[in-house]
Structure 1
Amino acid sequence: MKELFEKLNDEKINFEEFEESTLTDIEKKSIKKRIKKKLHKRRSMPVKTLSAVASLTLMAIIAVNSNFALANIPIVGEKLEAFVYSQADTLTDFKTIIGDSVKDNGVKVTLNEVILDEGQLLISSTFYTKLENNDLAYNWFSDIDIYIDGKKVELGGGGGPQEITESYIHYFWTADIGHMDMHKEKTMRIVFNDLKRSDSEKVMKGKWSFKFKASGENLIANSKKIPINHSFTLENGQNIEVEELILTPVSSKLVYKMSNIVDDVYFKIENEHGEAIQETIGHHFRFENYNRFEALEGGKIKIIPFISKFDNSQEYMLTNEIIELDLDEKKLK
């Protein structure tokens, strides 16, 4: 995800900000090592973090569907297409446009638009507030709670500020929502809790809540699953099973499982010209894993496994386990 982090060159990181979860000690050390490796100092593209805990005080209720008439509302900053490396306005048919605002403690938050993708919810929002010059040297984060059909989603996510100015912060977030029936309309509630400077020295208190309806039916109708079913075992006895590649208009999700876990194994994708396909987010170093990339439309690709040793920061390509796939023929070579 090199390009995602290039603009973070001035970031000041405090690893105590990451909230405790039920990860094992090995997982915690691995995640911290990968964060140290990828993040340096601040600029404004997404950062991997974990979603936090929240409560609810304010609520704005909006009942809208994808392709609602508010599609022409001007959005401050780039649209969600930029977050997933798609061409401008190519995902309009799959969005739910919100455009509603809630104000608390002098800070106004606008929920711009969302996309319900396979296994993830993409969120674009804008915080309107006055920032001093020294505030611009830091990233800013909000703890986000998501409820789908009344049930809280607690699978984490990633993202962060896409643009920071003296008057607003444009904020992208993707939440891992797991498996669900995408054909049925969902009642969703998104709650933003506080706005925090990345050094934890400044917090703007507030709760901004939005309720709306969204459906992934159109997206699923334009998606496909390609079974891969390729397994291999490392010398240390670790087993990896690559199950499938899920292609949607928004993203490409490679799904795999691991057992007897010792080292971190993840995947990269190259097209037939040897060009890397941009990764957007990943969930790995556990039993059920995935790497998510920008949307793929066709052609031949290579799925390349890499191993990251627990005792160092080096990654190694597993050349004997490279998978070649023709997306047009849907056949594994």
Structure 2
Amino acid sequence: MKNNIYSLLNEANMDLDEYKKEDFNDIEKESLKKNIRKSIKKSRKQNVGKKIIAAAAIIAVLVGMSFGNTGAYAISKINLFSESISSFLGIERNLEDYSTVINKSVMDNGVNVKLNEVILDDNELLISTNISSDRILKDYECWNGEMTLYINNKKVKFTGASGDIKNLDSNTTQEVLEYDLESIKDIDLSGDLNMKIIFSKMAVNYQDDINGTWKFEFKTNGDRLKIDTKTVKLDNEFNIENGNKYILEKYTGNALGHKIYGKIINNSTERGTYAILLKGHDDLGNKVIFDLTRGTKDEFLLKYENVLVGNMSEKASKLILTPYAVKMPEKSGKEPGFDEYEKVGDEFTINIK
């Protein structure tokens, strides 16, 4: 029998829902917190303390098999620990009422992919996954997956995503991906939805591709979160240096966070890319920042930066904001700091209560 447990578990599907959670001591929890926090979009977010959720030991799946010490070591490399989406993103709200917990793993070609949970937030699907193998990751390395999403048997065209990624240990990467669903505006996203996620390729730092099939099928429902989402129509606009006009169209706020959507009227003949943000405060005097998360030549999305300025107070009823912009370096280099942004419009107020 081979010592590499991944050869034995190849093609295996594991449903972890049936196993009970176990408590871990403070030393084990602190060890798991010593992780690498990296942003997919090279964000300026800083690390925050996180609450660890303990999963069941995988040895329960392999009752009756004996692999010796080498096998037990290999099994331990399949890290079943993961943080909830709220903890991972630094959100101080309980999202259990809105989350669909999957907790299923698929092994192929020596790589184990575990789908932890998903949350449907209107036109965005948050997807939490763990990717692990017996490869030892260096400090600057992390696993990346290439995935295709289907909703009610219709393929979702990839138009953009953001999120965060970090290593839980030297073998395992956890990622929370915020997958944009704007390309399927013609699909009704209410009620129970049949979801399918297929990963076709795994890589470390987008190199050394490993082809395979990691498929997950499940149902999810975003109705409750949609009901609990506050939406405010906006009619504010500003121009930036290159002549483009930015129009703020709506604000949304819920337990997951706060977003501002807008469109761009492209009047520029100038080459170059600009980043925008909104800075200000709430009616309680707390600092507020909405940073650019995604954008095209026609539209953009700004999200509240809870990691930078803390979670927004639930007692806040107004946001007083001012638009700022900065031209991005034409060659790759250091991303501009917030102090390099210049004011490009007048202060305005959003009533969020």
Indicate whether the TM-score tops 0.5.
Answer: yes
Q: How does 1:31-42 map to 2 (within 5 A)?
A: none
The Cα shift of 1:106 comes to 2.4
Equivalence for 2:288: 276
CA offset digits 1:160-217 (Å, max 9, x no partner): 53224234222221111124544222111112232211162x3333221101111110
More contact order relative to length (CA 8 Å, sep ≥ 6): 1
Partner of residue 89 from structure 2, selected from 78, 84, 90: 84
What is the TM-score with the length of structure 1 in the denominator? 0.69
CA RMSD of superposed structures (Å): 2.9
TM-aligned CA distance change 1:284 to 1:322, over 3 Å: farther
State the 1:278 CA deviation.
6.8
In 1, the alpha carbon distance for the partners of 2:296 and 2:36 equals 27
Partner SS, residue 175 of structure 2: strand
1:306 aligned onto 2:316: no
C-alpha separation in 2, matches of 1:257 and 1:219? 24
Distance 1:72 1:215 in 2: 25
Map of 1:155-170 to 2, 5 A cutoff? 155-170=159-174
Structure 2 residues without counterparts, runs of 5 or longer: 1-34, 43-52, 57-79
Q: Determine which structure has more spread, i.e. the larger CA radius of gyration.
A: 2
Q: Partner of 1:151 in structure 2?
A: 154
- Summarize the Cα distance change of 1:123–1:310 in structure 2 as closer, same or farther, 3 Å threshold: closer
Q: Once the two structures are superposed, what CA deviation does each residue of 1:281-327 show, in whole Å capped at 9, x if it has no partner?
A: 61125212111225754332233322222566754332642222232
Whole-angstrom distance in 2 between the partners of 1:265 and 1:127:
32
CA distance in 1, matches of 2:231, 2:150: 27
TM-score between both structures, scaled by the size of structure 2? 0.65
Alignment of 1:104-143 (within 5 A): 104-132=108-136, 135-143=138-146
Q: Figure out how many residues of one structure are paired with residues of the other and give that number.
A: 262
After TM superposition, the structure 1 stretch with the greater mean CA deviation from structure 2, 122-131 or 227-236, is 227-236
Aligned positions of 1:16-95 closer than 5 A: 43-48=36-41, 76-87=81-92, 90-95=94-99
Name segments (4+ residues, structure 1) moved above 6 Å: none
> CA 1:310/1:106 → structure 2, altered by over 3 Å: closer, same or farther?
closer
Q: 1:226 to 1:122 in 2, by over 3 A?
A: same
Paired residues of 2:290 and 2:302 also in contact (CA < 8 A):
no
SS in structure 1 of the partner of residue 38 of structure 2: coil
CA deviations over 1:52-81 (Å, ceiling 9, x no partner): xxxxxxxxxxxxxxxxxxx99666132100
Contact 1:77–1:163 (8 Å) recurs in 2: no
Q: Residues 240 and 151 from structure 1, CA distance in 2 versus in 1: closer, same or farther, beyond 3 angstroms?
A: same
Of the three residues 335, 338, 343, the one matched with 1:318 is 343
Kindly provide the amino acid, as one letter, of the partner of residue 253 in structure 1: K
1:219-230 correspondence to structure 2 within 5 Å: 219-230=225-236
Q: Which amino acid letter does the alignment assign opposite residue 321 of structure 2?
A: I
Return the letter of the residue paired with 1:162: K
